[in-house]
């Protein structure tokens, strides 16, 4: 079992930056691949970015590639999502999720554990 807690969301003007954190507790976080997803009310969860267990491989949605960076510090059991050049359409609740292998990391239904979400609002 692993518990995930997101933080770092907030209100930022367009063009600004935020750094989200996903802190894991329970089993050692390095045994889990981690993904970030976002969801607006009434919509399905949308893949944003993911990182493999050892951090060697990262994946990004086309809409955020070049603007967002995912990385992890296994010593701190934390995965980060650095979000730059934010746009109003990035406004959503952002969730981190974990799974115990490195396959299908872009698919929300493959993840076993989810955090409670952190809200990001980008004003125009």
Mean pLDDT of 73-79: 92
Residues 19 and 64: beta-carbon distance below 8 Å: no
pLDDT single digits (tens) 50-69: 999 999 999 999 999 999 99
pLDDT single digits (tens) 19-40: 999 999 886 656 899 999 999 8
Tokens of 110: 């493959």
pLDDT score at 107: 97
Question: What percent of the chain is predicted at pLDDT more than 90?
Answer: 89
The CA-based angle 19-104-33, given to 5 degrees, is 45
Give the integer Cα–Cα distance in Å for 80 and 1: 20
Question: What percent of the chain is predicted at pLDDT more than 70?
Answer: 97
pLDDT score at 1: 81
Give the integer Cα–Cα distance in Å for 1 and 12: 34
């Amino acid at each position: 079992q692993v518990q995930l807690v997101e933080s770092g969301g907030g209100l930022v003007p367009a063009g600004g930056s935020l750094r989200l954190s996903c802190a894991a507790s329970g089993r050692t976080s390095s045994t889990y691949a981690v993904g970030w997803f976002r969801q607006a009310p009434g919509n399905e969860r949308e893949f944003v970015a993911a990182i493999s267990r050892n951090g060697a491989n990262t994946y990004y949605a086309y809409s955020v590639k070049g603007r967002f960076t995912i990385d992890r510090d296994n010593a701190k059991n934390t995965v980060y999502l650095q979000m730059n050049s934010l746009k109003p359409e990035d406004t959503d609740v952002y969730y981190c999720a974990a799974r115990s292998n490195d396959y299908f990391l872009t698919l929300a239904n493959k993840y076993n554990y989810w955090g409670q979400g952190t809200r990001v609002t980008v004003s125009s």
